[in-house]
Each structure stands twice: as structure tokens, then as C-alpha cells.
Amino acid sequence: MKNKEIARIFERMGTLLEIQGENVFKVRAYFKAAENLQHLAEDVVQLRQEARLEEIPGIGKALREKITEYLDLGKIPAYEELIKEVPESLLDIVHIPSVGPKKAKLFYDERKIKNIEELKKQAEEGGLAGLPGIKEKTIANILNGIRIVQAGQERMNLGTAIRTAEEFIAQLEVLKEVKRIEVAGSLRRAKETIRDIDILVDSSASKKVMDTFVNLPQVKSINGHGESKSSVMTKEHVQVDLRVVEPDQFGAALLYFTGSKNFNVKLRQIAMKQQMKVNEYGIFSTKGTEEQRVAGKTEAECFSALGLPYVPPELREDIGEERIFSGKKIPRLIELKDIKGEVHVHSTWSDGRNSIQEMVEAARQRGYEYLAISDHSPRLRVAGGVSPENLLKKKKEIEALNEKHQDFRVLFGTEVEIDADGNLDYNDKILSDFDVVVAAIHSGFEQGREQLTRRLIKACQHKSVNVIAHPTGVHLGKREPYDVDLKQLCQAAVDGGTALEINSFPVRLDLNSDNAYFAREQGVKFMINSDAHQVAHMAYIKFGVALARRAWLTKDDVLNTLPLKDFLKAIKRKKG
């Protein structure tokens, strides 16, 4: 669909106009239009054909004309004119933490800085010193932001990678020549960040598959085009590699190309001890004078040939490796179907896009038994936090929905802000009225390790706090985790009966799998939440479940796998 292409241009136009100092309402109109197009269920091409463009929310006449121009010309003339006035490369500078549109304009006006490399050079050589509002600490933050962004450009988050892979798979799996198709590599292992995407196809007609692959519309350039392997770069600068193998090799190839590298080394060591050999073509016995192929069609067949139980892809890492090869049974890991509800989603009462009723309906469609609407507290002004007065109105709305839905429970929740001293944004009386309290840090990331840890521990100890949201504050590609003593936090969580969250939002994925594995070893209980700010975001829960699987979590480790009655008992024990 053209929706995302147009949305991207509108978002860029909004940012460039903001740099220019354009009217704030005009700027917001572009951002709002971009957001609405991004999440529009219908294709704008179809809407245009049916003369229904005016049905798109937040799109006025001027923007509808620009959509039409793009559909007719493949470009928006106003955007082409805009980038003649303001260098397009400033968009990269804007997204560096500690910069933003105003500073980007300042640097361009005063130092003619047009791209990240020029900004980095000026910052390192003292060229930013003396500019209004630019202090030594500001420059240090900008340099750190550049480092984080450049590292983030080398790897994409799990959500972006899955979305890209699914787009390719959807266009290839319809070919009659494709018998099986799977992602491999670090994406199949569900790593938090991915460098490039590997896709494996079972087919005896590789030429047809490869020719289709390299000519897909999202392909920007071709890195290589062969009979068994091809590689392309997408318009979003993502490298995608495709391999085609014969049916009897598919399982072995999938095992080999899924990795990890260290896991494959361990498999080869195990095979050698049994006079066997492992590679992408199969499992071979090396006894006697000639090699004999003993497995290869499926992964399960390959593991069995090596005398091993099937190892889920998410566990093929260094995390818990000794448990895999200990001979002990691998536990049944948590699955998406185990999730019975969520406690951290937002509605229009704060910064969400959908009403409580719409979020509830989406939860019911997912088969949930309960959903806590946990909007922000008032301290987080940028998110339009809910005032104590409005909490009463919100609670009445929830009570009305609970009267309507006998088979589902809407829980009265909050994402309450933890201040610089570890105090909570609402007083104890207000907090005691919530069904679920999610506590979170959204500011003061620059504090030292001791103070940040103390803030989180104090929240864990509060009688009303049920879960700590996104406990390390990471924002992939934008902000590193803040410095917290995870062992102390885990101990406080266990002692206080407070769960730690695995936040499934693609730019968070926090706790990550390493930290969640460590926390599990300390006896911590978890909640997995999507942190959805609109209905579509609820699908993100699958990323959190994937991370939980990497951390060896079972359903018994995660509180929101409990049915409603048991879940309520579990969280009420905290208050008791």
C-alpha cells in the first residue's frame, strides 16, 4: 500500500516545516495526517478510486490534494520545493537525542551544519561552543546521542525486522514453486535487535523464486543474484538474504542458518563425539569409509539424530546454554496463547489513540479475560496524564463497561510516575483505589546508579505498586538503559511482591532477554505487556513473549498468564 510512503513524506514535511519555524498548527496537521495514514486499514489507492479520501480522519482538502499528487506523479511537488529550502539531511540531525528541530535550525543557521558527520566534527572540535543554550553538558549529550543513533542504524529492532520479513514472505509464499518458507538467523532467535534478515525457502525451482525475490517492489538495489542465494537492499536500507534449498536439506539448512554461531559450534562438537558431521546439507555419519546421510528434512529429525531434544530457536544462544546440553528436560516455554490479559495499555484519557471501549473490544477479540487501562499520571504532562478529578470520570466509564461485559473484566489501572526521590505521583488514598498500579520512570535518567536504584526500590516497596514498567528505561536506537543495580532491584521486587515488566513495545523490549533471565534466577515474577497506545499496538505482545522465551520463562513465571480470578488474588496479596 502507498499509505506508508505518503505517511513518511508527510512526517518529513512536518519536521522540515518545524525547523523552518512554521505555524505550529500546520506542523501538527502533517504529523497527525502521517500518523493516521500509517494506521489506516484501507489502501489510499482504493479510497481514491472510490472518491473516499475525505473519509480519512485528520486529512483536509490541502493534504488530500497532496495525496492525489503522489498517486499521480509519484512525488509531492511541495515536498520537492521544501527540501530545496531546507536540506533533507537535517532530518537525520533532528532525531539525535538532545537535538530536535530548534537546535537543528540553530546549527544550520549559525554553523551551516547539514548532516550528522558535520555535527559530530563541530561538536568534537569545539565548533558548537558559544551558541545560545549550548553548554558543555549539551555537547557531551549530543555526541553520545550520535553514537547511539549510529549504532542503532546498524541494527533494527525486532518489530521492524519482523514487519520487513513478513512483507517478503507474503509475496513469496504465494508462488507454487515455494513449498516451505521460514525466517532464519537472529530474527528467528528473536534477538532484540537484528542486523539483516535471512529467509530460507524449500523449492526445486530456485530460478523462479530468485527472479521474483530480486524484483519485488520494496527492493532498492541487488547485492547479489545467484541460483541458491540472493541478497537485496530494501528502500528502508535493510539487507535481506534469501537461500533456496532442496526439500531433503531444508531442516538441516534451517538449523544451520538459524544459529547462533556458538550453538552451531556446540552441535558440531557433539556430532564429532558420535562420529558424525553437521552442516547445512544434513547430518552425516562418518563411521566407516563413506559418509552416510542420516537426517536433514526437518530440524526435529536433525536433533534426534544427535541424541538431543528439540531446542526452540529462542534458546539457541549463550543464555542458559549449560541447561540445554545437561541432559535435563527443556521446560515448556511460555507461548502467546498463555497470555490471559494485560495491565499496561493506554486510552484517550492520556496519550492513547483509542477509547477504553475500543481497547477493550480489541482485547476481547484476542481472547483475553481482562485488561487494565493504565493511563499516565499527571506529572507526565507530555502524555496528558489523568488528573485526580478526571480519575473519577474514568472509573465510572470502566464500571459501566463492566456492567455491559459479564465475560470480561476491565481493570482500573494507572501508569504512575516515580519522581526523582522515588515518590509516586498520586497520594496513597488515590493509589489504593486502583485495581492495578504500574509504576515507571520517564525522567531523571541522568541520575547516578545509586539514586536511580533507590527510586525503583522505593516504588517496589510501596504497598500499592504491582509492577515496575520498562525497568531499565532503554529506548532502542535513541537512549541506552539507565544505570541501575539490577540485583538490588530484583531483591526489592521479590521482597515487595512486585513484578517486573517485559515491555513488548518494539523500541523498548525492556527487560531484555539477558536481564529477564537474570531476574528469573533471582526469583522475580513478571508481567508481559504491549504498552499499547492504540488498538494496533496490542499485537506487539508477541515480541514480549518471544523475549520471555529467550529468558527461559514458563507461564508460571508470568502473572498475566493467570485466569482473572487467580490474577486478582495474586495482585491483591501485595496490597494485603
pLDDT of residue 426: 96
If asked whether residues 120 and 52 sit together in one domain, one would say: no
Domain that holds residue 60: 1-80
pLDDT of residue 438: 98
- Find all residues with CB under 8 Å of 408, minimum gap 6, and list them: 360, 363, 364, 368, 369, 370, 371
**How far, in Å, are 133, 174, 208, 228 from residue 225 at the CA level?**
52, 21, 12, 9
- The DSSP string of 120-161 is HHHHHTTTTTTSTT--HHHHHHHHHHHHHHHHHHHSEEHHHH
330 within some domain: no
- Asked if residue 541 lies in contact with residue 341, where contact means CB atoms within 8 angstroms, the answer is no
Torsion-angle region of residue 474: left (phi > 0), alpha (psi -120 to 50) or beta? beta
452 within some domain: yes
Percentage of residues in the chain with pLDDT exceeding 70?
Answer: 99
If asked whether residues 435 and 546 sit together in one domain, one would say: yes
pLDDT above 90 (res 516): yes
pLDDT of residue 92: 87
If asked whether residues 368 and 445 sit together in one domain, one would say: yes
**How far, in Å, are 237, 365, 369 from residue 565 at the CA level?**
48, 20, 10
pLDDT above 70 (res 152): no
Average pLDDT (237-247) is 94
If asked whether residues 491 and 569 sit together in one domain, one would say: yes
Among residues 224, 245, 266, the one where a domain terminates is 245
Which DSSP helix (H) or strand (E) runs through 177? none
If asked whether residues 344 and 393 sit together in one domain, one would say: yes
If asked whether residues 391 and 499 sit together in one domain, one would say: yes
pLDDT above 90 (res 86): no
Among residues 50, 80, 110, the one where a domain terminates is 80
pLDDT of residue 301: 97
If asked whether residues 143 and 164 sit together in one domain, one would say: no
If asked whether residues 381 and 272 sit together in one domain, one would say: no
Separation of alpha carbons 98 and 128, rounded Å? 14
66 within some domain: yes
If asked whether residues 371 and 485 sit together in one domain, one would say: yes
For position 72, which CATH number holds?
1.10.150.110
pLDDT of residue 144: 86
Among residues 193, 226, 245, the one where a domain terminates is 245
If asked whether residues 293 and 256 sit together in one domain, one would say: yes
Three-state DSSP state, 44: helix
- Condensed to tens digits (0 to 9), the pLDDT of residues 209-241 reads 999 999 999 999 999 999 999 999 998 889 999
- Condensed to tens digits (0 to 9), the pLDDT of residues 52-75 reads 888 888 888 999 999 999 999 999
146 within some domain: yes
Average pLDDT (565-572) is 95
- Asked if residue 325 lies in contact with residue 266, where contact means CB atoms within 8 angstroms, the answer is yes
The whole-chain average pLDDT of the chain stands at: 93
pLDDT above 70 (res 1): no
Q: If pLDDT is split at 50, 70 and 90, which confidence band does 153 have?
A: low
pLDDT above 60 (res 456): yes
329 within some domain: no
292 within some domain: yes
Question: What residues does 183 pair with on adjacent strands?
Answer: 199
pLDDT of residue 42: 84
- Asked if residue 510 lies in contact with residue 482, where contact means CB atoms within 8 angstroms, the answer is no
- Condensed to tens digits (0 to 9), the pLDDT of residues 252-273 reads 999 999 999 999 999 999 999 9
Separation of alpha carbons 219 and 312, rounded Å? 31
> One-letter amino acid identity for 438?
V
Of 392, 483, 401, 486, the C-alpha closest to 444 is 483
- Asked if residue 185 lies in contact with residue 545, where contact means CB atoms within 8 angstroms, the answer is no
Burial class (CB in 10 A: 0-12, 13-18, 19+), 448: exposed
Please report, to the nearest 10 degrees, the dihedral formed by the alpha carbons of residues 446, 451, 456, 459 taken in order: -120
pLDDT above 60 (res 293): yes
Q: If pLDDT is split at 50, 70 and 90, which confidence band does 95 have?
A: confident
Number of compact structural domains in the chain? 5
For position 191, which CATH number holds?
3.30.460.10
For position 134, which CATH number holds?
1.10.150.20
Average pLDDT (373-387) is 90
pLDDT of residue 446: 87
Q: If pLDDT is split at 50, 70 and 90, which confidence band does 290 have?
A: confident
331 within some domain: no
For position 317, which CATH number holds?
3.30.210.10
pLDDT above 60 (res 576): no
167 within some domain: yes
pLDDT above 90 (res 137): no
Burial class (CB in 10 A: 0-12, 13-18, 19+), 3: buried
Strands 292-295 and 282-285: antiparallel
Separation of alpha carbons 267 and 163, rounded Å? 31
Strand 276-279: give its sheet, edge to edge. 276-279, 282-285, 292-295
Three-state DSSP state, 412: strand
- Condensed to tens digits (0 to 9), the pLDDT of residues 463-482 reads 999 999 999 999 998 888 99
If asked whether residues 141 and 14 sit together in one domain, one would say: no
If asked whether residues 356 and 482 sit together in one domain, one would say: yes
